[in-house]
Amino acid sequence: MFPLLSKDANIYISEDLTEDIEKLIKTIPEDKVFILTDEGSYRHCFPKLSEVKGISEDRLLIIPPGDENKNAETLQKVWHFLSEKGADRKSLLINLGGGMPCDLGGFAASTFKRGIQFINIPTTLLAQVDASIGGKTGINFDGLKNQIGVFNQASAVLIDTSFFDTLSHENMVSGFAEMIKHALIYSKESWKKLRKFDIHDPDMDVLRELVASSIMIKNHFVQNDPTEQFLRKALNFGHTYGHAFESYALKSGRPVLHGYAVAYGMICELYLSHLRLGFPMTDVIDISNYLKEVFGLFKIETSDYKELFRLMTHDKKNEANRINFTLLDEIGQIQVNINASEDEAISAFEFYRDLCKDC
């Protein structure tokens, strides 16, 4: 095991999962090590931890899968579990799974007895390059994503790409969206390199290298702005529209995975970047067609615009009743806190819908 970037980052690439976990928990009494996972991760991923000394199913909580369960009710189940099993302020919670267990488990640990340590072991591509790192924890509330939470860095994040063997193709593609976002906000070179990779027929050795690069990009923004006052807002590219797509898809009974929603959001925000900042239209069309090819599109009608826009107005990044966007001057050149009129925001839905005419 070795630090991916620096000791301060506490992000590690695993060479031997059993040995590496044992090193991370060696200072914690065995009866104070607890594990949170969801049903799918328990079935497919927990067996990889079966030989780890200090981990016991007696101190394991399995929660229902899916973002719809990242809520206050599930959070209370985690608090009750920790309390009933005798967790104290010296305890450690290991969050094993995708973004949902990492987000919810990090928030539960951060608030239980005013805070206990937690380690994230992300098992999906999305969680490894995004959700498990950066210190954002939280739950959904009142139909809106990630409305309640705190910034709190994990004691460690352990990355093991062998977990991808347990992952569905759809979830692999979902995670790839965040890698695309990282490349677009960072540099033209990163974008050119990533675009050559075929996520539909992945070379896993190459993917391991790309995952490391993507984590390095996210960590660059996080380390320079841990609580998202300015620079870290770059990571919100695609997410203002994306969260609206995600929430609307769930409400309309056509749920989509987070990464797919972010891909649709990036299409809209690329177009808005053209309107507000002059991002080249040739690049808008080129990248949008690429995103459509990789992710397909979520069909919307003009009658959906009003509700999608309303969902955007509830985005937690907004300030002074204005929607804040992260947009691009060009690939690798970001502008944060950019506002747009309702008409401009709606016109991005029009551009997106034109792409979707043959959906």
Instruction: Give pLDDT, residue 318.
Output: 62
Q: Mean pLDDT over all residues of the chain?
A: 92
Exposure letters 323-343 (e unless 16+ CB within 10 A, then b): bbbbbbeebeebbbebebeee
Lowest mean pLDDT among 8-22, 95-109, 185-199, 276-290: 8-22
For the cut 80, the answer to whether the pLDDT of residue 359 exceeds it is no
The average pLDDT across 11-29 equals 93
pLDDT for 153 equals: 92
- Domains of the chain in start order, with CATH, are 2-166 (3.40.50.1970), 169-355 (1.20.1090.10)
Q: Which are the contacts of 54, defined by CB distance < 8 A and separation ≥ 6?
A: 22, 25, 26, 28, 30, 33
Q: Each residue of 229-273: pLDDT tens digit?
A: 888 899 999 999 999 999 899 889 999 999 999 999 999 999 999
Buried b (16+ CB within 10 A) or exposed e, 53-86: ebbeeebbbbbebebebbeeebbebbeebbeeee
Backbone phi, psi, residue 159, to 5°: -100, 125
DSSP-assigned states of every residue in 208-245: HHHHHHHHHHHHHHHHH-TT-SSGGGGGGTTHHHHHHH
Provide the whole-model pTM.
Answer: 0.90
